[in-house]
Copies of this chain bind each other. A is one copy, B any other.
Amino acid sequence: MAGIKDVAREAGVSASTVSYVLSGKRSISAKTTDKVMAAVEKLGYTPDASARKMRGMRNQIIALSAPIRGDINQARYNAYFLRTAWAARNAGYDVMLLTGPDAVKDIRRVTQSNLADGIVLLDVEQDDERAAQSGTFSKPCVAIGYPSSHAGCACVDIDFALMGRKAVDFLYEKGHRTIVFLRNNESDYNRHSGYVVIFRESLLAHAKELGMTVIESEHYEADSFDAQHFVSTVFAHPDRPTAIINQANASVLSQVLMALHNAGMSIPQDVSVLSCGTYFEGEPTRFPITEMPVMPEELCAEAMNLLVSAIEEHTDIKGSVELIEPALKRRGSVAEAGSGGTI
């Protein structure tokens, strides 16, 4: 393990000169620079991260808190892991994964020991312990989500209340008056996963305002959804619905699409489908579905912006809230009610 002294000896200069050559904080003669760089190359020198942090420098590490709660299948958080890691790396940071069930303990461990320079909170619940405690963390903290108690951290989220209204408006303008709401699996509502609840309530409230009829799917647990049953039940309704707003995952929706197909219903000619709060980018779906997706890329990038500015410029981000306007990805699964034209 070659250190700065070894490089200095090899190059025939002092250790501080090597440091300055590498940092560029002092003008160094071309000749010295060459000698030093040659020695660095030869010895494969890389500064020791701990030693440099001892001198007050940062560690360039962001902690990503994604606690495993019970038996929840967290596959959908993968996009956030990867996007956070990507955004962090672009800003010169590495990402450390904190998945222990006692998230606050994990966060304290890595912040108090000065391992991490900042924290990103994932899978934020309405009533989130981490966000509530964030004021006492010794490093800046950003939540991807919108917990009720958030005075100690910044929040970045999609405006799911707005998404609910936009989804309803979108269908209403196309002439739809009776629609189906395909719920997520129950466990997500039970654990008060913030956005799942907010979107649903906003959707139902706004539909009511407009006088629309919303038929909600029955409750189901992750592995017990029966698409055939869902389709036959829902379309037996006296006011035959003309559209589906989906909040369930790709697997459940795939089954519904297949069931619709089997029941002889075409999309969007016979029924429009709009999926909200999902993320089908790159998913192998048989039919492309118009979507107001969650936006891991945008959220993680913005969260990282805030965090880095708090870390590097000591910007005060505590309590700030940034709600991103939901986007609509048109993929042709929504049409005028009763018509055959696609949108």
Interface positions of A (Cβ within 8 A of B): 1, 44, 46-51, 53-54, 59, 61, 64, 68, 71, 73-79, 81-82, 85-86, 89, 94-100, 108-110, 112-115, 138, 185, 222-227, 249-252, 254-255, 258-259, 262, 282-286
Main secondary structure of the interface of A (DSSP, over half): mixed
In the assembled complex, the CB of A123 is this many whole angstroms from the nearest CB of chain B, namely: 12
Q: Do B61 and A96 touch across chains, with their CB atoms under 8 A apart?
A: yes
A55: nearest chain-B partner, CB-CB: B50
Q: Considering the chains assembled together, what is the distance between the CA atoms of A48 and B51 in angstroms? A: 12
Contacts of A249 in B (CB 8 A): 284
Residues in B with CB closer than 8 Å to A282 are: 71, 73, 222-223
Contact of A223 among B114, B262, B283 (CB under 8 A): B283
Contact status of A284 and B252, CB under 8 A, knowing A95-B97, A114-B50: yes
Provide a sorted-by-A list of 13 A–B residue pairs whose CB atoms are within 8 angstroms.
A47-B113, A50-B53, A61-B115, A73-B283, A85-B97, A94-B96, A95-B96, A222-B282, A225-B284, A249-B284, A251-B251, A258-B259, A258-B262
**A93 to B: closest C-beta gap in Å:** 11
> Is B46's CB under 8 angstroms from A49's CB?
no
Alpha-carbon separation in the docked complex, A64 to B138 (Å): 26
Which 7 residue pairs spanning A and B have beta carbons closest together?
Answer: A46-B112, A50-B50, A222-B284, A49-B113, A78-B78, A50-B53, A258-B258
- Contact residues in B for A99 (Cβ distance below 8 Å): 82, 85-86, 89
Cα–Cα distance between A254 and B100 once the two chains are bound (Å): 32
Q: How far is the CB of A192 from chain B (nearest CB, A)?
A: 20
Question: What residue of chain B has the Cβ atom nearest to residue A279's Cβ?
Answer: B75
A79 to B72, CA, bound (A): 12
Indicate if the CB atoms of B94 and A46 lie closer than 8 Å: no
Chain B nearest CB, measured from A166 CB (Å): 26
* CB neighbours of A225 from chain B (8 A): 284, 286
Task: Given the known inter-chain contacts A95-B97, A222-B284, A282-B73, please indicate yes or no for A86 contacting B113, CB distance below 8 A.
Answer: no
